[in-house]
Amino acid sequence: MDTIINSSELTQDWLTKIRVGIDEAFLSVNYDEKKYWAKFESPITNRVFAWLYIGRKKINLFIGLDPDIEPDVEPSSSQWKRFKSIFRIDSDKKIRRAIDLIIHTFNHDLNN
């Protein structure tokens, strides 16, 4: 895996916690990191279902859930039409919610 150049020890720790939570929830999902981004991909649909932009003090989680239904996500200004919501992780308290949103997005992706 490449090192995400914008990350800090703090956001790398959050990313590790997210990956552990996802690993505990699924038998297998594909995970990859690039220079600025990380992604989770479904081995069933062969589609990316969550993108993470990792910065020094926050992680932006891009997902395909409706921002009008999920109370703590915001509409994304992303060019990717499939990723219409963003959840900002800026504290350790938001890790569990991020994991839940990724799991929900995985299940949503299977049905669409």
* 10-residue averages of pLDDT along the chain (112 residues): 77 94 85 92 92 94 89 82 91 96 90 80
Q: Are strands 37-41 and 48-54 parallel, antiparallel or unpaired?
A: antiparallel
Q: Tell me, what's the pLDDT at 78?
A: 67
Q: How far is residue 10's CA from residue 29's CA, in Å, rounded to a whole number?
A: 24
Domain annotation covers residue 103: yes
Domain annotation covers residue 94: yes
Full domain range(s) for residue 59: 9-110
Number of folded domains that form the chain? 1
Q: Tell me, what's the pLDDT at 36?
A: 86
Q: Tell me, what's the pLDDT at 110?
A: 82
Domain containing residue 33: CATH number:
3.90.1150
Domain annotation covers residue 98: yes
Q: Tell me, what's the pLDDT at 3?
A: 65
Nearest one of 54, 61, 1 to 31, comparing CA atoms: 1
Query: Would you give the distance in Å from CA 105 to the centre of its chain?
Result: 9
